[in-house]
Amino acid sequence: MQAKAFNFLPSKLSSPAIKLPPPPAISFPDHVTGRGISIAIPNPELSPSVVDEKLEAYWDYQFLFVSQRSETVNPVTLRVIEGSIPLDFPLGTYYLTGPGLFRDDHGSTVHPLDGHGYLRAFTIDGVKGEVTFMAKYIETTAQAEEHDRETGEWRFTHRGPFSVLKNGKKIGNTKVMKNVANTSVLRWGGRLFCLWEGGAPYEIDSTSLDTIGNFDLIDGGDGSSTSDGATTVDGGVDFLNIAANILKPILYGVFKMPPKRLLSHYKIDSQRNRLLMMSCNAEDMLLPRSHFTFYEFDSNFKILQKQEFSIPEHLMIHDWAFTDSHYILFGNRIKLDILGSMTAVCGLSPMISSLSVNPSKPTCPIYLLPRFSQHEGTTRDWRMPIEAPSQMWVLHVGNAFQQTHDHNGNTTIQIQASACSYKWFNFQNMFGYDWQTGKLDPSMMNIQGGNKLLPHLVQVSINLDATGSCEKCCVSPLNDQWNKATDFPSINTDFGGRHNQFVYAATSLGIRRELPHFPFDTVVKFDTVKNSTQTWSVGARQFIGEPVFVSKGSDEDDGYLLVVEYAVAKQMCYLVILDAKKVGETNALVARLEVPRHLNFPLGFHGFWAPNE
């Protein structure tokens, strides 16, 4: 195999203080890196005194985002290499989605957020002591256009919101809304879906993982607004509506954006057996207002209720929360970047260049939107946000719940979320991707002072009086002693929207000098009642993704945690099963199972545990 230059190769690989011997060349097959590519990496067996830590860290980071072209035809039984699968493990499947392909066969690379969705499924049978694995690409419209099934060749034609194609059409390329179904996965009402931030879900056959097709949950959504705030108070001309009417045919017709962008994060109200979803109007991405629609579905996908809210702020929402009474939005403030918009439309920069964060206020707006009809006596105007006394960009929400304090109706709303600093968050550089060079720079995710800037878990407490007015709002760490970079908060989903004691998340202990904050190497369990933390960590040059809880008893933490371990030095992936009650103890690990090397896959985003129905 003739070696070619790898796209992510940096200009300087080694520190001038250390002279490295020539690293051995390791050749990966087409399904891992692309056709005919040979990658030089440091020998993992060399001692740390010889191996340049920066070089090692750089390549470890790249290998989290190495393309995988192979798919399974039939389920593959995984080999148990440590522990055993417990008999009481519930029968079901752990689904994990994320990007699978970052480089085509013509020199173009894409941002991880624009990588084609690659669905992984681990079916676990405790009685048989067996786990089978399957993995396939979601056959979206963009995937079908960019992948030749007969030759196996890939050619990127959709640049995606975060990318610019090196060898693709730039000027006049309106193929921007590349629904790659790579962000989250859901099974509801006996049907399986993969979701993306800005398009309809794709339905997947839960047994074969074959793509069934696009599934329109919200009946096409025409983008019409029926909420308050659509006209000016004095009855004058609403220039925002005029601007919206100008933008609609351009966004819907030219750029093929759906009128309502369905968010990839959903919520499940297990008490009412409802699926909760949320959409945004496409044109509001470019206007100083935000229009949100919330939907609640029963198990037959019948819309039980639909509510629309128009907010006079330019906001970017990725995740949200709910309680018995409210939908809760953290208002990440953004603004239109005029220069970025011009270069983006011309194809000279990613479309996301049109937007930038707006740090004009030192607070974070929190919108408490009434989930049902207003409670009697509640007079608070939902259009007025509660300004949390901290400027934070909220990424993911673990849970939210409300508690009544006394007979007067005073209540407290608690929200557990991951947040980062506006100073760090950058639309164009997420994961350290440089769209101009196509390289990934791990330093962006591992900056100095990262404990305060990078994602970390917070608890927001809002005290409301009987009329719904805010008496106090405060933001504090989820745990007073925990200051590590942390994200992907998850809970026992049976406790969604109600009082929970435990939160699980991915974090890094910071013991690796060159990659102290990300990728994550540790599962952390927060006990919010005892204000304590317990951890379980992987070994050197091994990382983890999002932990997912599997319930097996009545206690909140009576169950197991599923997490994928990425052993980048070996180019292997493992499914790890932890006892949720024993995190922090020496016997927390229940089983570790090996994914065959030829099916090693890149970092996933969000997963879902689906028990057999």
Structure tokens at 398: 């673990």
In three-state form (DSSP H/G/I as H, E/B as E, the rest C), the secondary structure along 253-305 is HHCCCCCEEECCCCEEECCCCEEEEEEEEHHHHHCCCEEEEEEEECCCCCEEE
For residues 444, 449, 450, 454, the Cα torsion angle rounded to the nearest 10 degrees is -100
Task: With CA atoms as reference, report the closest residue to 241 among 282, 283, 280.
Answer: 283
User: Rounded to whole angstroms, how far apart are CA atoms 509 and 538?
Assistant: 10
* End-to-end alpha carbon distance in the chain: 48
Q: Quote the CA–CA distance of 533 and 456 in Å, as a whole number.
A: 14
407 assigned to a ligand binding site: no
Nearest to 397 by CA among 483, 458, 441, 307: 458
Question: What are the backbone angles phi and psi of residue 124, rounded to the nearest 5°?
Answer: -115, 130
Structure tokens at 536: 């379980």
Tokens representing 41?
């990496």
DSSP secondary structure of 121-161: EEEEETTTTEEEEEEEE---HHHHHHB-TTT--B------T
CA distances from 360 to 334, 391, 426, 454 (A): 10, 10, 16, 20
Strand partners, 135: 120
Q: In whole angstroms, give the CA distance from residue 323 to residue 412.
A: 11
Residues 6+ apart with CB under 8 A from 190: 613
Beta partners for 502?
527
Distance CA 438, CA 112 (A): 11
Burial class from Cβ neighbours inside 10 Å (0-12, 13-18, 19+) for residue 387 reads middle
The partner residues of 123 in beta bridges, in order of sequence, read 93, 132
Dihedral of CA atoms 495, 500, 504, 505 in degrees, nearest 10, equals 100
Is 31 annotated in a binding site? The answer is no
Judge contact between 90 and 562, C-beta under 8 A.
no
The C-alpha atoms of residue 604 and residue 57 are separated, in whole angstroms, by 19
User: Annotated binding residue at 606?
Assistant: yes
Q: What is the Cβ-side half-sphere exposure of residue 12, based on CA atoms within 13 angstroms?
A: 7
* Cα gap 172→316, rounded to integer Å: 26
Annotated binding site: 318, 396, 606
Annotated binding site for Fe cation: 318, 396, 606
